[in-house]
Amino acid sequence: MEVVLHLAGHCIETAAKKRYERLVQELLRAESEDENRERELEFLLEFLKKANFNELRKQGFDGSREMQVRVKRKGDNFVVEEI
């Protein structure tokens, strides 16, 4: 599983929180289950709980410039890369 986030004027943590909140709203409004969105929601929740956001901001994912990033799991850790 991987998630693409857009950083523009906010850091990766804020981008992940915004995507999480948007997914929650979409799932609450949905008339049927959406397994892909549910998996993405679970992935983002784990990322928000486990990621070292101070370190990620130091690596340049601080929102100081606009970029798209891909977040994916590698073993028990998360990998973030600019795309």
Tallying the residues shown for the chain, one arrives at: 83
pLDDT value, residue 31: 75
Listed by start position, the domains of the chain span: 2-82
pLDDT value, residue 51: 93
pLDDT value, residue 5: 95
pTM here?
Answer: 0.87
- Tell me the DSSP string of 23-78: HHHHHHH-SS--HHHHHHHHHHHHHHHH--HHHHHHTT-SSSS-EEEEEEEETTEE
Helix or strand (DSSP H, E) at 5: strand 2-7
Spell out, as residue ranges, where the chain has pLDDT lower than 50: none
- Residue pair 80/26 in contact by the 8 Å Cβ criterion: no
pLDDT value, residue 50: 93
Tens digit of pLDDT for each residue in 61-81?
999 999 999 999 988 889 999
